[in-house]
Amino acid sequence: MFSGLGRLVECSGQTAKSSSSSSTAAVQRGDGSRRPLRDAVDWRQYAAGWGAAFVNITVTFPLNKIMFRQMLHGVEMKRAVRMLRKEGILHLYRGLPPPLFMKTLSGSIMWGMFHTSQRFLETHPVYGLGPNSREVIAALAAGSCEAILTPFERVQVLMQDKRYHHKFRNTMGAFRSLWRFGIKEYYRGAVPILLRNGPSNCLFFRLRRETKDAFSPLATWYGNLVFDFLNGAVIGAFISTLFYPVNVVKTRIQARVGGRFRGIVETFVEIYRERGVKMYYGVHLNYTRALVSWGIINASYEVFKNLLGADN
C-alpha cells in the first residue's frame, strides 16, 4: 500500500513540475503585456489548501477545545480535561461545524490567495518591489481576506463556551441570536484577527520558503513528506506561540454577546490584572497542538498540490 502511495505521489510530483514549468513559461513569455487577474488564479492551490485544512481540523479539534477552555477560564490542562469529560462525549465535538467550514475555507483562501496575489504581482510589476516585498504583500492580502470569515470564528467561541450550552442549541441558533444585535456583532473581535492573520502569514511563508531553499529535495517521497511535516510543525508552533496573547485577547472579546465593544488594549489590561502570568495558561497545549496541526497542514498541502498538479 505504501509503495503504491509512493508511486502515486512521485508521479503526481512529476506532473506538478511539468505543469509548473509550462505555466511559468506562459506567464513570463514575451511581449511584456500585463496578464488579467484570472490568469494568476490556479484553482488547484485553493483545493489543496481546502484539503489540508480538512485533514487537520478533523484530527485536532479535541485538542483545540481543551486549549480554548484554558484561554477562556485561565485553568490548568487537567481541569480543562475534567470539564470536558464531565460534559460528556456528545459535547466534545459540539461546535465542530463552524470551524470545519471556516478552517477549510480559510485554508483555501490562505494558500490560494497567497499564490494568486504573488503571481499577479509578478506579472504586474511595480517599481521598487522585489521578490521579498511581493511575498509580504501577498501574505498580508491572504491574511486580510481570511478575516472575512470572522463570523464563523465568533460563533465557534460561543459554541465552545459552557455558559452558552443551554442558550444556543446549535450553530444556526447562535447565528440567529446574534442577528438582533446587528451585523457588527458578527465581527466582534475582527481587529485582533487582522493583527494576527497578516503578520503570522508573512512569517509563515517567509520561513517556509527559506527552509525549503536551504535543503535539497530528498530522494524518497516519504522523506519529503516527513520533511514537510517537520518544517510546518516547527514554524507553526513558533508563530502560534508568538501570537498566543493575541488569541487570548480575541477569545475574551468574542466571548461577550451584546454590550459595548471593548478594545484590544483595554481587554489585555483586564486579563492581565485578573490572571497575571496565568494569561499564558494553555500555551503548552497550544504549541503542542500547533506542532501537530501545522505539520499536518504543510505535509497535506504538498501532497494535495502534487496530486492535483498545481504550480509551485
Indicate the pLDDT class of residue 67, thresholds 50, 70 and 90: confident
Tell me which of 51-60, 137-146, 196-205 is least confident: 51-60
Q: What is the pLDDT of residues 246-292, one digit of tens each?
A: 999 999 999 999 888 989 999 999 999 988 888 888 888 888 889 99
Helix (H, G, I), strand (E, B) or coil at 161: coil
Contact by Cβ (8 Å): 159, 94: yes
pLDDT at 157 over 70: yes
Tell me, what's the pLDDT at 37?
59
Residues 6+ apart with CB under 8 A from 187: 150, 151, 154
Helix axis angle, 283-308 relative to 221-242, nearest 10°?
140
HSE of 88 in the Cβ direction (CA atoms, 13 Å)?
Answer: 3
C-alpha cell at 281: 495558561
Tell me, what's the pLDDT at 293?
94
What domains are there in the chain, each with its CATH number?
A: 2-308 (1.50.40.10)
Region 58-86: mean pLDDT is: 83
Q: What is the pLDDT of residues 104-127, one digit of tens each?
A: 999 999 999 999 999 999 888 877
Tell me which of 1-5, 271-275, 276-280, 301-305 is least confident: 1-5
* 310 closest CA partner among 24, 75, 56: 24
Contact by Cβ (8 Å): 156, 120: no
Tell me, what's the pLDDT at 234?
97
Contact by Cβ (8 Å): 236, 286: no
Indicate the pLDDT class of residue 38, thresholds 50, 70 and 90: low
Tell me which of 134-148, 165-179, 188-202 is least confident: 165-179
3-class SS string, 275-289: HHHHHHCCHHHHHHH
Tell me, what's the pLDDT at 90?
73
Q: What is the pLDDT of residues 191-202, one digit of tens each?
A: 999 999 999 999
Q: What is the pLDDT of residues 202-245, one digit of tens each?
A: 999 999 999 999 988 888 888 999 999 999 999 999 999 999 99
**To the nearest whole number, what is the mean pLDDT of the chain?**
84
**Which comes out higher in pLDDT, residue 190 or 94?**
190
Tell me, what's the pLDDT at 24?
40
Tell me, what's the pLDDT at 181?
92
Tell me which of 33-47, 140-154, 171-185, 237-251 is least confident: 33-47
* 187 closest CA partner among 142, 153, 146: 153
Tell me, what's the pLDDT at 54?
94
pLDDT at 23 over 60: no
